[in-house]
Amino acid sequence: MHKYLAVLLCIAASLSTAQTQASSPAKPESVVRTTKALHYRPGATAKIEFRGTELMQRGSGETKVEGKKTNIQVDAKFEGMEDATKFGLEYLTYVAWAVSPQGRAVNLGELVLDHGKGRLKAFTDLQTFGLIVTAEPYSAVTQPGNMVVMENVFPAGSGGEDITARYELLRSGTYSSANTHIQDAIFGIDSKTPLALFEARNAVRIAHIAQADRYAPAILSKAEQQLRQAEEAYRQKQTRSAVEAAAREAAQTAEESRVMAVQQKAEEEAQAQAAAEKRAAEEKAAKARADAEAQARARAEAESARAQAEAAKAEAQKAAAEAARQQQEAEKAKAEALAQQQVLAAETEKARQAAAESDKLREQAEKEKQEMRARLLQQLNSVLATRDTARGLIANMSDVLFKSGSFELLPGARERLAKVSGIVLAYQGLRLAVEGHTDSIGGDEYNRRLSEQRAGAVRDYLVQQGISSDAITASGFGKSEPVASNDTPEGRQQNRRVELVVSGSAIGSVADASAESSAPPAVQK
Average pLDDT, the chain: 85
* b/e per residue 275-293 (b: at least 16 CB within 10 A): eeeeeeeeeeeeeeeeeee
Report field, pTM of the whole predicted structure over 0.85: no
417: pLDDT confidence band, cut at 50, 70 and 90? Answer: very high
Reported confidence tier of residue 355, pLDDT bands at 50, 70, 90? confident
> What element of type H or E holds 451?
helix 444-464
φ, ψ for residue 140 (rounded to 5)? -90, 10
Q: State which amino acid sits at residue 177.
A: S
The C-alpha atoms of residue 391 and residue 498 are separated, in whole angstroms, by 16
Q: What angle do CA 117, 46, 67 make, to 5 degrees?
A: 105
| pLDDT top residue among 158 and 524 | 158
pLDDT tens per residue across span 32-69: 888 999 998 888 999 999 999 999 999 999 999 999 98
b/e burial code for range 409-428 (CB count within 10 A of at least 16 → b): beeebeebbbbbbbbbebbe
Q: What average pLDDT does range 359-369 have in this prediction? A: 83
- In DSSP notation, 370-382 reads HHHHHHHHHHHHT
Distances (CA, A) of 67 to 74, 148, 242: 9, 26, 33
**Alpha-carbon span 181 to 23, nearest angstrom:** 11
CA distances 172 to 55, 185, 364, Å, are: 14, 17, 31
Q: Taking residues 224-235, what's their average pLDDT?
A: 93
Amino acid present at 420: V
Measure the CA–CA gap between 521 and 396, rounded to whole angstroms. 21
Instruction: Please give the pLDDT value at position 5.
Output: 44
* Interval 118-148: pLDDT, tens: 999 999 999 999 999 999 999 999 999 999 9
Q: What is the mean pLDDT of residues 421-425?
A: 93
What is the pLDDT averaged over residues 168-176? Answer: 76
Query: Binning pLDDT at 50, 70 and 90, where does residue 170 land?
Result: confident
What integer pLDDT is reported at residue 524 of this predicted model? Answer: 35
Burial of 213 (0-12, 13-18, 19+ CB in 10 A): middle
Using CA atoms, how far apart are residues 150 and 314, in angstroms rounded to an integer?
A: 95
* DSSP H helical ranges for 320-443: 322-381, 411-425
Give the pLDDT band of residue 171 (cuts 50, 70, 90): confident
Cβ neighbours of residue 38 under 8 Å, at least 6 residues apart? Answer: 46, 48, 65, 128, 129, 130, 152, 154, 158, 160, 161, 162, 163
pLDDT digits (tens, 9 = 90+) for 319-333: 888 878 888 888 898
CA pair distance 70, 381, nearest whole angstrom:
18
d(CA 510, CA 39): 35
Q: How many CB atoms are closer than 10 A to CB 348?
A: 10
The rounded distance, in Å, linking the Cα atoms of 251 and 139 is 8
